[in-house]
Structure 1
């Protein structure tokens, strides 16, 4: 059987489920257990770090030809380091050391995932240089991870692992047993009914602060989860701007929603949550429409980090969610076998797409941000700034516009 990472296609689903009172207690028990294990690793490694540093400094002060003699405090520190190293050497050691981690309701894979997540956090820190793993605090929302295993099966399906679908309304999970779910997407229901080879990987069980329970599953398969969309023989360039959300190379504009700004005026947490959901829905619908209706979508590389340094524009940029939008276009293009690319935005707003004149060169006045409409001084073509930029973006993506060169008189 193939490993999850070697499967060609991956898909994630999130389901609402309704546990019984007993199942809620088991979820809380596993959440507390995995948090205890994670914090044990964080605390013991932190203790070892400081103890080794203390001993190294003190031993360095001893005579170079004399064997250092440890006092009682230093000896206890050395014993603590050895004990911690032994406990953390193997994942099963911490379960053997604490009897409450061995009760039958606790999922051993939840504990293993806690250790794995701690090690991933350290690898992430070593890679980027900040974000040292810290203690996990007790919270009103719970979550823990487990895994679906296929111990004797030759092929993985949605209904033959340790985590499996009983039917379209019920799932069986390790330690929790059978739970009722709100319902399946048509895409997943068809794979279940048609018995399509699909492997379940990581399973995350989560309770929100509002006492709602959700189940997230990572699925993998060598059979695509979505059908390829038909080719439309259409291409489009899109320009992200501050006057509206975007302008495309056909001249169409999408108005900019101001969810965050409106929510800020109300100063209510519930409204901020609602605004994020509205923005997410807006971005999902718009990105899907662009991918379905065009074979190629070209956009400019977003450099919002630099733009956010401008305090006059930062709120408007944060309001529209461009980074999330471009990420959606990228993964949906891959999912539906379409093409999405980003290009260097240099000169896209300053260039006349009709004759190639670049404003700001050869004595031409450079366009400012307030210049929303302009006329090319060379060919006298009238431009709407954002529409012209979208056309340039498409041409650059198609490779029909070479890198601009200085024009000669």
Structure 2
């Protein structure tokens, strides 16, 4: 497919941090296709299958985890990118990689690491994504990291928009391979960020309903959801309730995707290059004002009814305790670190704290639970609420 003039072009990529011998390129792939494939084949991507999305270490096979969320995000991202004539491979790579820096137990684990390393600069999962891909996940003989293209790295760095005050991790990486942090990112990056929102806004509803933490009557207090539900009932009046609920979620995703495509197309009128995108002074890929307001209300509802549900808060507190105890154990007794990690533990701060954070951030939920049980001779309780 021919891409639009405002799309990112792999043929004019700003390159990679470490030069590569083009003689060993495997297959006829563009730079962005190779980036996507490197992410998919990485250890850090595989670990996402056992990392929290909403529910901590869920027993149920049907609940989403970071891996399935990332795949769903990528599907939405490719759909939008194709409609807008953007580079689908770059969009997909960004969607697949955007959550790689999450520690075990999601935001609960991040809060624990942030508190433990506050005096050493703290912990940020988005910066940790870059740190993991550029330094920690290193399968190649010639360089550290996956050596992804500049466009992937800058898109991940600006997942939440331009960065004017980067933390220590992102600042270090930017000094080594400048990513123009204060500028707006590519349209592919902007689309990947909104695809993330669309995916978790709606799929978290699906999981919340399945777990019994959310109830349809409460959801219907939102006009956006109520309109979709009435349409589902009118179209499928005799369908089972469970199927109607799945249709509700699908319908909302479709509505948000179509709104994003239409509004972005209108914003792109007169935009002739990627330089125009970066200098626009605002993101050009965005919802309409009406949809943005509906999405804001939906997010507020989800925080109130699901993310801050009493059972979720209780489980999150237990998860934070596990991560805090692991950090304390490794700091006080380096022998508890895994082989290959204990030998290189720095003596001085802040390197020591950041090194321990790297180790913990790479853990899955279940490995963190196992490690805590091994070190403290007691299996942590209350870490599964579904």
Q: TM-score, normalised by structure 1?
A: 0.23
Structure with the higher helix share, 1 or 2: 2
Structure exhibiting the larger radius of gyration computed from Cα positions: 1
Structure with the higher strand share, 1 or 2: 1
